[in-house]
Structures are given as C-alpha cells and as structure tokens.
Amino acid sequence: MGRLSSLFTPERVAVIGATERPGSVGRALVENLQADFGGEIVPVNPNCETVCGLDCVDHVGETDADLAVVAVPAAVAVDVVREAGEAGIDDVVVITAGFGETGGEGADRERDLEAVAEEYDLNLVGPNCLGIISTPVGLNATFAPRSAPSGSVSFLSQSGAFVTAVLDWAADHGVGFKDVVSLGNKAVLDETDFVESWGDDEGTDVIVGYLESIEDGRRFVDVAGEVTRETPVVVVKSGRTEAGAQAASSHTGAMAGRDRAYEAGLRQAGVIRADTVQDLFDAARVLAGQPVPETDGVAVVTNAGGPGVMATDAVGDGPLSLAKFGNDTVSRLRDRLPEGANVYNPVDAIGDADNERLRAAVDTVLADDAVGSAVVIAAPTATLDFVQLAADVADLQADHGLPVTTCLMGGERAREADDTLVEAGIPNYFDPARAVGSLGTLERYRAIRERERREPTTYDVDREAAQAVLDRARERGTTRLGVEAMSLLDAYGIPTPAGEVVDSPVDALEVAEDVGEPVVMKIVSPDILHKSDIGGVKVGVDHADVYDAFEDLVARARNYQPDATILGVQVQEMVETESGVETIVGTNRDPQFGPLILFGLGGIFVEVMEDTAVRIAPLAEADAREMTEEIQAAPLLSGARGRDPVDRDAVAETLCRLSQLVTDFPEILELDVNPLVVRPDGAVAVDLRLTIEL
C-alpha cells in the first residue's frame, strides 16, 4: 500500500458540516458514506442532535476520527481543519469551495489552509473538490450521486464534474475502480502524490487521470518515471491546443504551461497520454483487463473479410505489426478451415464459420510464437452464436495468457455477450480500429515498462569558468549575451571555433593570424540581436582585409543604432561547413518542468518546418541520441543523398553538455547555439545567444 493509504482506509470518518437539509452537500456526504462504508461515521454539527440517524457531535475534536471530511462554509473551513489537526487527525478532505479558484480573499484563505496543513503535516485533499472514494472499504466520501463500481483502476481528476460523469458512465462500460480522487485546487496533495502512492498499491493495476496542469513537473517526471515501470499511467492533459490551454487556464486559474513541455515531460515519465476521454478509458479497460504482450505481432481472426481489412489498416496506424505465422500454424489453419478461407494473417474463417471453427482458428494462432496478441472480429451470422464465441474467447485468452480484444459487430447480439467479456476483462468494440487500438496501447506500455533506466550523463566541466562568465555579465548589468560568452561553452567542453572578441583592428589582425585565413568577423553587441540583418557578419575575410572589415562592422553597428553598446568584434576561425550539417541546439525554461532542451536542423527546418525534438533536462546520452533520430529530417544526419553521415555522437554529447550547463545554472533562462555545425568528425558551436536572469 502506498504512502497515502491511510487516506483510503479510514476506520472512522468525521463529516464536518453534516446536515439533513435536502439537496445539501453535507447530507449527500453522510448518505454516500452510509451506503457501503464498513467503518464508523461521525457527523459533526453543533446545531444538530442527529444526522441521518447518526448521533452528531459539536466539534471534530470529539470524534476520534482518522479521516475528516470538511463541508462547512469557506469562512470557517480553515479553522475546522486546524481543529482536526489539533485532534491528531492526519487525513483531511476539504470539499468546501471559495479558495484559490475565486482569487482575492479566496487565494488568501488557501494560503492559510496550506500553512495549517504544513503545521500539522496533514494529507489534505482539495479544497474545492468532490471528495474521495475507495471501493475495497466501501468508502464514498464524495457528494456524487453515484459511487464507483469496484475494480483495479485508480483515478484522479482535476475536474470534480468529470468524476461524477465517469462514475455514472463506468458502471455500464466495464470499468471498475479501486480509489478515486477529485484533486480540487491541489493546495497540498497533488497528482504526483497520488501517482506515487498508487504506484505502491497492490490493489491498483492502472492509474488514470484527467489533468489541466501539473504542479511540479520535474518531480512528476521523476516519480511517475519510476511508477510506470510497474504500473501503467494514462492521462488526459487538457490544454493541448491553444484554445484549450486558454480555457484550462481560465477554469482552474492555474498557469497551464506550454503543451510542448507537457508532451516531453509525460513521455519521459513513461506516461501514456490520451487525447480524448474515449481514448483514456479504452486504455484503462485494456490495461486493467489484459496482460501486456511479449511481442508486437498481432493476429487478426475474423469471419468477415471487410472488417478484417479494417483491422489490418488499424494495425498499420499503431505500434503493432501483423504477425507472420509459422509454417505449423499455417498448415494447422489449413486443416481446420475450409477452402476459400485465408490461412494467413488476417485469418478469414469466412462467413459460414460456426463457433467451433472460429474457436479452432483463435486457438491455433494464439499458440504461434510470433503472436503476441490477437483481435477476434465477428460479423453476425446465422451460424455463429456471439455468447458462445465470447465464452470461447475468454477461455482461450485465459489458457494462452496472451492479450485479446474483440469486435463482435452488432447491437443487441453483441450486448448479450458483453457480460462474459467484461467478466474476462476483454474489451469489446463495434469498431475494429478501437479493438486494435487497445492492443496497441498494451504494446506501447510494454515498451515503457521495458525501457532502460537512464541516469543523466555528466562530464567533467569547468564550472568556475562558466560562473565567471555569468558573473561578469551580471556586473555589467547585461541579460543578453552573444558570441562574447562563447567561453561558457568552452568551459562545458562544447567545441567552439578558435577566436576572440577584440576591440581594435590591430588586435583583430593578431587574432586572425593565429586562427588562420580566411576568418569570420562579427560585431558583438548586446543591443544587436540579428547581426546578419545589418551586415554585422563578414565571412571569408582575408588577413589583408581585416582592418577594413573591423572598421566597417563598427560603422554599420553605429549607423544602425548610434547608442548601441559595442563590446567589440569577434574574429573567428572559419568553420568548414561543406561537409557538415547546420543544426540548432537550444534551451529554455518551462515554469512547470524547468529547462527544456531542443534540437533541430538549422534554418528552414526549425523555422519553417517546425521539425524539432524536445526533452526535459537533465538528459541521458540515450535521450539525446533519440532526439537526433526522431526529427523528420534525421536522414540528413545519417548520410542521405550520397553524403557522408555526420557525427551524431557529437550532437548527443553537445546536447548532454548543454543540459548539464543549464541544470547547473538556473540563471540561464534561454540559450541557443545556432548553428552547431556537425561534420563527419565532430560538432562545433559557431554562434551563441543567451538570456540570463540578473
């Protein structure tokens, strides 16, 4: 059982604000508890003798309860919670609204509540929530009109209304719950706490959630990253689209953060992100009901060619592949199926198939080593009994121990078979694509569960040198830095071209003579962000032209912006780019997840094609490698169009070193290396821009 298990296994529940007033929350809470709870229920209300037949006490301190459910008006709620804390109660659910979600006075009240919770070290759910449910002990500490059917899914939701909706719907749809939590304003306990706790809970097979924000993204990634190695976590994180993000933010008052960061964070945590409610519960059903496959090969068995084709199309849409049967399987199928049947995958037992024939076909394919899962599809025919088919499939699933979903295509007929399938945990859909999609979810989870454990890759770096660069900028009061800060990269072992920032033509020539001929010269000014646009970059400057180039660069900068601070001119080794690929490596800071690392190809690829890979820092080298592989333009790194492949390892190392840099220095808000030129034998950072916090 998890850390918060006491919350879900109370022996005595105090309902503060209990009342008999019809339609009131206080009454609904008491009645819901009375319905099934095996422990004791103590109503607290100084104005009542009894509530719903239970003796009432005046104060929570008199209850000897281990869980306090608070449904008093907002104005007194904090005091009541304090009383509970004083009485030694550890677990508190605050139903009451009128806190942070209203702003102003409510926000102050929420801060008070947090302080009390901290003082007494409370496990506090809410405020502004529907409550909690735990089916094994019959605990329904919510004011929802209906409790949860029992099962092994634990469910958290940032929307209380969504909980009531799901509870009403779940009973009919084969989804059963262990614990349910309405998170409310998450003043104390948040999604990460419950994910962590349920990760240790034997009664929970699957964790599903509806979230509009994640409080502490970094902690969530760490915690969920561990939990998902044992227990699948599926969430809808709304605010995927710009419109949705705005709506979420106005609904919860929470800063929603950028979806790209959530996408990266959820992925790195091994959380399966569902886009819709349907996808969320399709995933929950199959993860709770079926085992995880051992291979990605799926067998399709059907009595109807068309739906078999639809299922095969859906296989192509997801992570599964159509299993290639062994010869034994093919010949066994040939023995068991009539002429005209297809004995290859998708197996078509044809329209006159009876139950025996379909059973034989399913049994045969499930015995094949190449088959990791199977979908059984049946159109209604005179020769086939769906109830019997459901029973057969349930048997065979149990015998072979492989995941199976079904697509019994019909209305009433299919419903008759439903009980058997629900009992066996076998999801059944009319649409072949959903049946296949469910198996795809299992396959995705297999990859998550089996993924290697990655520690951030770190290197020996010169942290003091980097600190010195940042300190100097701070002393100057500068927040925007450019090539003059290249030594930041040097300090973290990221190769840069030879060169220096100089403030006279004489020095420029001296540096040029050191670094070779020709050179690149760039104006260095915190006030000029787009150097190229004003002619502030000269490429291929011969030594003879260095003087003139220096003067010209300074003149152009002055001309463009007379009061610009000019730090000098950078004279730089000219990096050979012919054999290389220009890439961009960048980082910025997300309010929830901290530093994000971005990788893409230079120029149009990032700007026009928006072809980038993003991760939450810190990175392991394997993460960085994946980034170089997942962009659409990846073939350009591996030698497309007859070119030599470039050094992906050098890219991965640069990404990790950059990740280490921005992790070490939280004052770096944004940093772009553009371009990082990657050649067959290494990578070099040619230009740099960064923004720091003063």
Instruction: Pick out residues in 33-72 that bind its own copies (CB under 8 A).
Output: none
Q: Which of 77, 81, 314, 519 binds its own copies (CB under 8 A)?
A: 314
Shortest gap between Cβ of 311 and its own copies (angstroms)?
A: 8
Binding to its own copies (CB under 8 A) within 595-614 occurs at 603-604, 607-609, 611
Count of residues in the chain: 694
* Structure-token pair, residue 642: 């007859």
Task: Check residue 104 for interaction with its own copies (CB under 8 A).
Answer: no
Task: Kindly list the distances between the CA atom of residue 628 and the CA atoms of 459, 619, 653, 660, in Å, as whole numbers in the listed order.
Answer: 20, 13, 11, 18
Q: Provide the angle, in degrees to the nearest 10, between the axes of the packed helices 386-400 and 412-423.
A: 20
The DSSP string of 26-92 is HHHHHHHHHHH--SEEEEE-TT-SEETTEEPBS-GGGS--SEEEE-S-HHHHHHHHHHHHHTT--EE
Q: Which of 4, 14, 18, 28 binds its own copies (CB under 8 A)?
A: 28
Task: Kindly list the distances between the CA atom of residue 83 and the CA atoms of 113, 132, 374, in Å, as whole numbers in the listed order.
Answer: 12, 21, 57
Q: Which of 2, 127, 308, 427 binds its own copies (CB under 8 A)?
A: 308
Three-state DSSP class for 318? coil
For residues 512 and 569, the answer to whether their CB atoms sit within 8 Å is no
Q: Closest CB to its own copies among 317 and 551?
A: 317
Task: Check residue 642 for interaction with its own copies (CB under 8 A).
Answer: yes
671 sits in which H/E element: strand 668-679
Give the contacts of 690 (CB within 8 A, at least 6 positions apart): 480, 481, 485, 488, 668, 669, 670, 671, 672
* Structure-token pair, residue 337: 């199926």
Tell me if the bond preceding 618 is cis, omega within 30° of 0: yes
Q: Which of 47, 53, 382, 464 binds its own copies (CB under 8 A)?
A: 382
Task: Check residue 276 for interaction with its own copies (CB under 8 A).
Answer: yes
Task: Check residue 387 for interaction with its own copies (CB under 8 A).
Answer: no
Shortest gap between Cβ of 520 and its own copies (angstroms)?
A: 20
Task: Check residue 172 for interaction with its own copies (CB under 8 A).
Answer: yes
Task: Check residue 419 for interaction with its own copies (CB under 8 A).
Answer: no
Q: Closest CB to its own copies among 64 and 431?
A: 431
Tell me if the bond preceding 127 is cis, omega within 30° of 0: yes
Task: Check residue 322 for interaction with its own copies (CB under 8 A).
Answer: yes
C-alpha 692/C-alpha 670 separation (Å) is 7
* Structure-token pair, residue 396: 């065979």
Binding to its own copies (CB under 8 A) within 424-463 occurs at 430-434
Q: Which of 142, 158, 612, 628 binds its own copies (CB under 8 A)?
A: 158
Task: Check residue 694 for interaction with its own copies (CB under 8 A).
Answer: no
Task: Check residue 335 for interaction with its own copies (CB under 8 A).
Answer: no
Shortest gap between Cβ of 342 and its own copies (angstroms)?
A: 6
Q: What angle do CA 264, 268, 274 make, to 5 degrees?
A: 70
Q: Closest CB to its own copies among 249 and 458?
A: 249
Task: Check residue 234 for interaction with its own copies (CB under 8 A).
Answer: no
For residues 153 and 283, the answer to whether their CB atoms sit within 8 Å is no
Task: Check residue 275 for interaction with its own copies (CB under 8 A).
Answer: yes
Shortest gap between Cβ of 164 and its own copies (angstroms)?
A: 5
Q: Which of 229, 251, 267, 480 binds its own copies (CB under 8 A)?
A: 251
Task: Check residue 549 for interaction with its own copies (CB under 8 A).
Answer: no
Using the contact rule CB under 8 A, the part of the chain among 66-74, 274-282, 585-593, 658-666 near its own copies is 274-282
Using the contact rule CB under 8 A, the part of the chain among 51-59, 108-116, 378-386, 440-448 near its own copies is 378-386
Task: Check residue 161 for interaction with its own copies (CB under 8 A).
Answer: yes
613 forms beta bridges with 599
**HEC readout, 285-311:** HHHHHCCCCCCCEEEEEECCHHHHHHH
Task: Check residue 388 for interaction with its own copies (CB under 8 A).
Answer: no
Give the contacts of 453 (CB within 8 A, at least 6 positions apart): none
Shortest gap between Cβ of 214 and its own copies (angstroms)?
A: 15
Closest CA to 200 of 222, 234, 229, 175: 229
Cα torsion for 393, 396, 398, 401, to the nearest 10°? Answer: -120
Q: Closest CB to its own copies among 10 and 440?
A: 440
C-alpha 473/C-alpha 471 separation (Å) is 5
* Structure-token pair, residue 445: 């989870």
Size, binding site for its own copies by CB under 8 A = 92
Q: Closest CB to its own copies among 50 and 241?
A: 241
Shortest gap between Cβ of 121 and its own copies (angstroms)?
A: 30
Task: Check residue 278 for interaction with its own copies (CB under 8 A).
Answer: yes
Task: Check residue 162 for interaction with its own copies (CB under 8 A).
Answer: yes
Q: Closest CB to its own copies among 310 and 424?
A: 310
Task: Kindly list the distances between the CA atom of residue 367 and the CA atoms of 296, 372, 446, 450, 460, in Å, as whole numbers in the listed order.
Answer: 15, 10, 20, 23, 53
Q: Which of 45, 135, 154, 164 binds its own copies (CB under 8 A)?
A: 164
Q: Closest CB to its own copies among 429 and 665?
A: 429
179 forms beta bridges with 134
Using the contact rule CB under 8 A, the part of the chain among 355-363, 364-372, 403-411, 660-668 near its own copies is 403-411
Q: Which of 39, 61, 291, 351 binds its own copies (CB under 8 A)?
A: 351
Q: Closest CB to its own copies among 569 and 606?
A: 606
Shortest gap between Cβ of 169 and its own copies (angstroms)?
A: 4
Q: Which of 242, 455, 464, 578 binds its own copies (CB under 8 A)?
A: 242
Q: What angle do CA 110, 92, 135 make, to 5 degrees?
A: 130
Using the contact rule CB under 8 A, the part of the chain among 80-88, 305-313, 324-332, 457-465 near its own copies is 305-313
Q: Closest CB to its own copies among 381 and 467?
A: 381
| Letter string b/e over residues 675-689, b meaning 16 or more CB atoms within 10 A of that residue's CB | bbbbbeebbbbbbbb
